[in-house]
Structure 1
């Protein structure tokens, strides 16, 4: 699930830049909504990789800051020229996402607000799914006696 829509992205960057970033195959005109949607999906997944340490993903409800930052990352994803201001903006978003995953930054909403995602009860810990132990310490005592 993408955190932003194609319409929101076009509203952010403008129709002309959307056409330049997502040029459709000829003879179509306008912008390629599928390319933009693909970038939004990929970058939503990127943000989810950070958020998953603290919240169930995809986030629900989605804070406005997450929507805006998804579009910034999607813009970089689509920008074939690697314009400096686009790259720097995306780098700031990735730094923010790292800070959010560590708990030193917020999603831009009060955690007690109904607009805030629900915190994961497991704290994003590691899940170990392994078979039962075949040997325990007692069963290996004779074998390991000399160690």
Structure 2
């Protein structure tokens, strides 16, 4: 299930940016390379799934609207690759997207989508079994 499309990226970031980031054959850049865009979208979706799989049955259907800009910002960052500057908005948005996905994985953020089932339910308590203590206040008395 696709979370974002090439058109979503065009709507958010403009076709000019996608042309500059993907056209590796024309000088000057003139067209969007759909293969490059699809690969980076796929990478971003796989990364998002790796976080959401902890709590949700995948693929999400329908895709929550809140997820679209998250995956779009990640795909944009992947398109920039080595050109993404450390202090740029592209990098900042990527880091924010990862932080949000970590919150989803930890349960701090709950996705609202029909048909989304939590993969994990509240379980019982953790129990441990260990041998009796060898050293205690009584056995060490006098040392």
Q: Which TM-score band (shorter chain)?
A: 0.7 to 0.9
* Aligned-residue offset at 1:36: 0.8
Counterpart residue number, 2:44: 43
Deviation string 1:91-126 (CA, Å, 9 cap, x unpaired) is 00100000011110133x3xxxxx344223544x9x
- Tell whether the 8 Å contact from 2:74 to 2:97 is kept in structure 1 after alignment: yes
**Structure 1, unpaired ranges of 5+:** 110-114, 126-147
Which of these residues, 98, 101, 113, is aligned with residue 97 of structure 1? 101
Aligned-partner SS, 2:58? coil
- Pairing of 1:1-147 with structure 2 (within 5 A): 1-26=1-26, 29-80=30-81, 81-83=83-85, 84-107=88-111, 109=112, 115-123=113-121
Tell me: CA distance 1:122–1:73, structure 2 relative to 1, closer, same or farther (3 Å): same
Counterpart residue number, 2:137: none
RMSD between aligned residues:
2.2
Aligned-partner SS, 2:66? helix
- Tell whether the 8 Å contact from 2:57 to 2:119 is kept in structure 1 after alignment: no
**Structure 2, unpaired ranges of 5+:** 124-143
Tell me: CA distance 1:117–1:43, structure 2 relative to 1, closer, same or farther (3 Å): farther
